[in-house]
Amino acid sequence: MKILIRLILTLFALTLMLSGCGKTDAVQNAPAAEVTAPADTAQEAAPSSVEAEQASSAALSQEELQFFTELFDTPEYNGFPEEPFSSTADISWDTVLRSGAGIAVKDPGENEISAFLKATGSKKLYGEIMAVRAGELEDFILKHTGADPKSASELLTWTYVPEYDSFYLEYWSIDHIAYKCISGEKTGDSYAIRLEVDDAGCSGITPRGHYGKFADRVLNIKNSGDGFIVVSNAILWDELSDREQSFDVELQQFDGPVRFITYSVDPDESSFIIVKDGKCIAQLLAWIDADTLTYLKKIAAVGFFDFNADGMDDICVIGDSDFGQRAILYEAVTDEYVFSYFTDLDENELALNGSGLTISGIRSALTGADGFAHTGSWQDAYAQIAKVYQMTRDRFRFDLIRADGDDIPELVISDPGYMTTLYTFENGRARCLMHQWPYGAGGNSGYSYVPEMGIYYNGNADYAGAIYYESYMSKHEQGELITDYCIKHINFNDLDGDGEPSYEELEASGEYEGISEYFNESGEEMTEAELREIIRLYEGYEKRSLYGESDYYALLSQLNSYHP
C-alpha cells in the first residue's frame, strides 16, 4: 500500500511538471542522459513523431528514475519489458499478463474452475488458476496502447470460457523479473527509459549477467494522464557481446537476415543467441560432451551450411575448452525448435574423416569439398543424413520403409532403445518428421507405422499402465508428425475422480474393466460415433515397428540398389 501511494504521488508530481508547474524549465535544460541504443536498435528506441523529435529533451531526475523503477515492479507494468516489440501490434499479451497484470482474479471460485476443467477436458487442477475478464482485458489493452483492441481471443492464448466471458490460465509458479531504471530522457510527454535487470529483486530465476535475455532494454512510453502507453521495447542484444563473433547472416530458412550473437562474458562458458527483427528466436549453449560435461570458453570461428540435406542452414562453432579445441554442430530442425544441438567433434574424430578444426575443413568432411548439392535425388539426401549420423556414433541403425504410399521411401534412424528419427523426401529436400523422439523409458514402447497409409502410431503408459495412451499421427503441411486421434485408457477405478491412481485405488481395481476416452485433435468436425469409427478402422490396420536394423554400410548398399 505504501508503494502504491508513493507511485500515485510521484505520478501526480510528474503530471504537474509536464503541465508547466514546479521546476520544469530547469529540468528540461539539463544535459540529456546516455540512452542511445546500438545502431541496429537505435531506430526502435527513437521518439515516435517529428514533433517529439523537434522538442527539447531532458534527462530524468533521480526521483523520476526511482518512480519508473517502482512503476515497472508493479503487476500492471512488470510484464511489458520482458519481450521486445517495435510497435504495440507486436506485444505479447501472454507475457504481459503472465503474473496477472493487476487485473487477474487469482481464485475464480469452484463454478468457474469446473467450467475451465470441462473446456480443457481435465479431471482436476494440477496447479493454480487465474482468470481475466474479457472486458477488463480490452480496457487494459486500450489503456496501454491507446487503441481499441481486436477480439481479445486473438491476442491471448489462455483458455476462453464463453459462459463467464473470461480467459483462464493454469500455472504452477510465476517467476518475477525486477527492473531498475538507470537512465532516461523525456521529450514532452514521451519518455525513453533504460531498464536493467535488478538481480536482487528477481525471484524464481537467477539472471546470468546483464547480457542476452537479461540485457538492458530501452522502452519508449507516453504519459496519457491515466497511466502510460507503451510504444516500443528494444532489448540491447549486442551489449557485452563478442563483437568478433557476432554478425548478420542470411540463412536459407529465413526470410531476411538474422543476427548471430556470441557472448563470452563468463570466462568458463560461451553462449549464443539468434535474433530476427529484434526478437530472440534461438538461444544456444556451447556445451560439449568431453570427459565430463563442460563448455567452450572462447569462440574461434562460426560457419553456416546445410549438413543434413533439408535445405536449411545448420551451424558449426569452433572454440577452446579445457579439453582442447572442439567443434559443435547445431542442426536446423523445425520452426518450433529452430536449432538443436547435434554433436561435438574433437581433432581426432575429424582427422579420421580427413579434416582439421577449421570451418572449411569440417564442411568438407561433412558435405564434401563443394558442399552438399541438392540434386533432387532422395538417395543422395538420405546418404548425406546417414553420413553425419554415422560420424557422431556407430551404434545408429538405419532402414528404408514405405510409410506413405508414394514412390519414395522414408528413412528411419534408430539409437536402439533410446530414440527414433524419421525423414521423408519432398520438393527436392529431406524433411524431418521425427527428430530424435525418445522411447524405451517412462512407459513409451516405441513407434509404429501403417504401410502405405501415412499413419503412425505410439503407445505410452503412465503409472505402470494404470493409464495408457494410444496416439495416431500423420504428416501435416509442415513440421514434424502431429497427433490426429488419441485414446486414453483408464485401467483403474478412479474413486475420487482426480484422474490419478492412488495406492488405495489400485488395490481396489482388481476386477475393474476400465474405460476409454476418445479425443479428436485433427481439427475436423465429427461426432463421437464418427471418431470411434475412424479409430476402429485404424486399430484394424497392420502396424510395423519403426526402427532401423541395418548398419551404415548396409544402408548405402540399399540406397544404391533400391527398387520400390
- Domain co-membership, 222 together with 255: no
Annotate 173-188 with b (16+ C-beta within 10 A) or e (fewer).
eeeebbbbbbbbbbbb
550 located within any domain:
no
The predicted structure's pLDDT at residue 44: 40
Domain boundary among 318, 338, 373: 373
434 located within any domain:
yes
408: buried, middle or exposed (CB in 10 Å: 19+, 13-18, 0-12)? middle
- Domain co-membership, 309 together with 279: yes
- Domain co-membership, 162 together with 261: no
Q: Would the CA dihedral through 379, 382, 388, 393 be positive or negative?
A: negative
- Domain co-membership, 235 together with 260: no
126 located within any domain:
yes
**Rounded distance between C-alpha atoms, residue 281 and residue 215, angstroms:** 16
User: Hey, which residues does 492 pair with through a beta bridge?
Assistant: none
Other residues' Cβ atoms within 10 Å of the Cβ of residue 132: 23
554 located within any domain:
no
Furthest C-alpha separation in the chain: 88
CA distance to 299, 338, 556, per residue, from 242 (Å): 9, 22, 42
Instruction: Read off the pLDDT of residues 481-503 as tens digits, 9 standing for 90 and up.
Output: 999 999 999 988 888 877 788 88
- Domain co-membership, 81 together with 19: yes
The predicted structure's pLDDT at residue 563: 64
CB 416 within 8 A of CB 545: no
The domain tally of the chain equals 4
- Domain co-membership, 247 together with 235: no
The predicted structure's pLDDT at residue 248: 97
387 located within any domain:
no
Three-state DSSP class for residue 234? strand
**Rounded distance between C-alpha atoms, residue 371 and residue 374, angstroms:** 9
Give the position of cell 530442425: 333
H or E stretch at 469: strand 467-474
- Domain co-membership, 161 together with 180: no
Q: Strand order of the sheet with strand 455-462?
A: 515-520, 482-490, 467-474, 455-462, 444-450, 544-545
Of the candidates 177, 176, 196, 179, which has an alpha carbon nearest to the alpha carbon of residue 236? Answer: 196
- Domain co-membership, 81 together with 190: yes
Domain boundary among 193, 222, 240: 240
- Domain co-membership, 336 together with 401: no
Annotate 323-351 with b (16+ C-beta within 10 A) or e (fewer).
eebbbbbbbbbbeeebbbbbbbbbeebbe
378 located within any domain:
no
Positions of the chain with pLDDT under 50: 1-47, 49-50, 52
Three-state DSSP class for residue 170? strand
pTM, two decimals, is 0.83
Q: What is the DSSP string of 396-408?
A: -EEEEE--SSSSS
71: buried, middle or exposed (CB in 10 Å: 19+, 13-18, 0-12)? buried
The predicted structure's pLDDT at residue 188: 94
- Domain co-membership, 292 together with 199: no
553 located within any domain:
no
H or E stretch at 269: strand 269-276
Q: What is the DSSP string of 176-225?
A: B--EEEEEEEEETTEEEEEEEE-GGG-BS----SSSGGGS-EEEEEEE-S
- Domain co-membership, 33 together with 79: yes
**Rounded distance between C-alpha atoms, residue 59 and residue 28, angstroms:** 7
Instruction: Read off the pLDDT of residues 253-295 as tens digits, 9 standing for 90 and up.
Output: 999 999 999 999 999 999 999 999 999 999 999 999 877 789 9
Domain around 366: 243-373
- Domain co-membership, 163 together with 184: no
Domain boundary among 173, 202, 227: 173
380 located within any domain:
no
